[in-house]
Amino acid sequence: MDSVKHFLQFKDFSRAEFDYLFERSRWIKTQFKAYRKYWPLCDRTLVMIFEKASTRTRLSFEAGMQQLGGSAIYLNSRDSQLQRGESVEDAAQVISRMSDVVMIRTFEQAIIERFAAHSRVPVINGLTNEYHPCQIVADIFTFIEHRGPIQGKTVAWIGDSNNVCNTWLQAAEVLDFKIQVSTPPGYEVEAGRAGLHGTGHFEQFSDPMDAARQADLVTTDVWTSMGFEAENEERRRDFADWQVDSEMMRIARPQALFMHCLPVHRGEEVSAAVIDGPQSVVWDEAENRMHTQKALLEYLLLGRVEVAGPPSRSGSNSNSSKEMP
């Protein structure tokens, strides 16, 4: 099934593909805002598999698929055979014969890679321990809406070097901007996660104020990600000086935006004054999950369509295999 195109990490797509996706997201969002029907995925089915909790990812994929004329089915490990020993490979064979596209939120990235290797249809990463690519597509689309192209700009990441941070690191290389990261000691970016090509898009700072200096965007995430709850108390102590507050926003550029993938813990990774303040665009960011993922679903299922018009059905469904065995 090597010929099927998936979205498992941010770097799976090229800069040209993201430029196209951002353009499509803008058009799709405009249709939604004007209550115009756009149903290119009529009769298509998205299966969503959740092995971790979600509000935004489930809602944005499910609502988005419905708005494109398709349907979405929700599975979780508790109510399916996934936690009872059925192999990932077998699940992929079966699920991908009954659907047109699959979204998975799970633990190790290796799980989604194995699923994709045995899937007849495109697989989308809805968050793993290592990456959260759909989030960063929405974040960059939001940045572009507010401030124009992100190329050449500086993003400050303050806090844990987690799945969201790892995805920003990939995005900086693909889309050519700088990422300045500050984590507490012991939580630094893992070797090999960034700067693989020595491109100089990534710099690490021990002082979070240095990372925020002159940034065009300051962003952070929870101190403890899903799956790491046992470390909660220790992390609360270790991360206490890594809160994005008004003083930190003042050291960034005057026009700097603040983003957070949500859910947030006000008073931990960010102060209420910042996330509820004028530089914060977190609600646009959350809404844009839906518009950008609609563009992603359209692209994975129909390929490139005319930017301003309805999709051509001629090239449709080439990114999957429904042939008889």
Selected from 164, 194, 256, 297, the binder of ligand NVA by CB under 6 A is 164
List the beta bridge partners of residue 205: 182
Distances (CA, A) of 45 to 302, 313, 325: 13, 17, 21
Amino acid at 293: Q
From the list ligand CP, ligand NVA, none, pick the one residue 291 interacts with, judged by a Cβ distance below 5 to 8 Å according to partner type. Answer: none
- Which span sits near ligand NVA by CB under 6 A: 39-47, 157-165, 277-285, 290-298? 157-165
CB atoms within 10 A of CB 53: 11
From the list ligand NVA, ligand CP, none, pick the one residue 55 interacts with, judged by a Cβ distance below 5 to 8 Å according to partner type. Answer: ligand CP
Q: How far is the CB of 190 from ligand CP (least distance, A)?
A: 21
Read off the DSSP letter of residue 266.
Answer: B
Q: How far is residue 191's CA from residue 261's CA, in Å, rounded to a whole number?
A: 24
For residues 41 to 60, the per-residue mask of contacts with ligand CP, x marking binding by CB under 6 A and - elsewhere, is -------------xxxx---
CB atoms within 10 A of CB 30: 12
Q: Which helix (H) or strand (E) holds 102?
A: strand 101-105
Is 132 labeled as catalytic in the residue annotation?
yes
Question: Up-side HSE of residue 288: CA atoms within 13 Å toward CB?
Answer: 29
Binders of ligand NVA among residues 259 to 298 (CB under 6 A) are: 261
Read off the DSSP letter of residue 220.
Answer: E
Q: Does 222 bind ligand NVA (CB under 6 A)?
A: yes
Is 265 labeled as catalytic in the residue annotation?
no
Cα distance between the two ends of the chain: 13
Q: Does 96 bind ligand CP (CB under 6 A)?
A: no
Q: Does 225 bind ligand NVA (CB under 6 A)?
A: yes
- Catalytic-labelled residue, pool 44, 132, 235, 260: 132
List the beta bridge partners of residue 154: 178
Q: Does 125 bind ligand CP (CB under 6 A)?
A: no
Is 261 labeled as catalytic in the residue annotation?
yes
Selected from 73, 111, 262, 264, the binder of ligand CP by CB under 6 A is 262
Catalytic residues, which ones? Answer: 105, 132, 135, 221, 261, 289
Site of interaction with ligand CP (CB under 6 A): 54-57, 127, 135, 261-262
